[in-house]
């Protein structure tokens, strides 16, 4: 198994960060993860546990197609996907109070094909770099596009 995790502080409340990631997922996911070249929601209606989507990604020149299912959605707390065509897990955790959110992104590649095992160290490094880039991109987009909370003066 290859696992990567990265966290970042975002100067917006958890509900705003969650809304950007989960509620506007179809529009925003390719923006914070430019490796996503195509995203199609297979399930109709709003995102919910059980929603299925298909993505085409190009990671370091390698094109992959996969489908995934939302397995956990807790507003302003957590969003989790699991690959249905390939064994991976993606988890976003939103921790915070009022004006700041600690966003933690985890990616697990649950199995490496036999022919990829000699490259495990390289894959592990690329996956960690990708996790760190993901949280930096999310922070940049959210802080630029989501209005900061109004401060009340006494």
pLDDT digits (tens, 9 = 90+) for 4-17: 999 999 999 999 99
Q: Cβ contacts of residue 34 below 8 Å, gap of 6+?
A: 137
Share of the chain above pLDDT 70, in %: 93
pLDDT score, position 151: 64
Burial class (CB in 10 A: 0-12, 13-18, 19+), 101: buried
Convert the pLDDT of each residue in 60-90 to its tens digit. 788 989 999 999 999 999 999 999 988 899 9
CATH number of the domain at 2-145, please? Answer: 3.30.530.20
Question: Tokens standing for 76?
Answer: 């302003």
* Domain ranges, ordered by start, for the chain: 2-145
Convert the pLDDT of each residue in 32-59 to its tens digit. 999 999 999 999 988 999 999 999 999 8
Is it the case that residue 18 has pLDDT exceeding 90? yes
pLDDT band, very low/low/confident/very high, at 25 (cuts 50, 70, 90): very high
């Amino acid at each position: 198994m290859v696992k990567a995790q990265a966290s970042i502080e975002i100067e917006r409340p958890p509900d705003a960060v969650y809304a950007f990631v989960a509620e506007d997922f179809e529009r925003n996911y390719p923006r914070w993860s430019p490796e996503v070249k195509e995203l199609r929601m297979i399930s109709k209606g709003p995102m919910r546990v059980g929603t299925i989507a298909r993505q085409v990604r190009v990671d370091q020149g390698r094109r992959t197609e996969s489908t995934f299912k939302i397995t956990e959605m807790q507003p302003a707390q957590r969003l989790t996907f699991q690959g249905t065509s390939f064994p991976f897990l993606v988890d976003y955790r939103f921790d915070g109070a009022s004006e700041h959110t600690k966003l933690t992104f985890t990616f697990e590649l649950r199995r490496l094909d036999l022919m990829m095992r000699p490259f495990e160290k390289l894959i592990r490094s690329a996956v960690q770099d990708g996790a760190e880039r993901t949280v930096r991109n999310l922070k940049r987009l959210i802080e630029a596009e989501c209005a900061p909370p109004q401060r009340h003066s006494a």
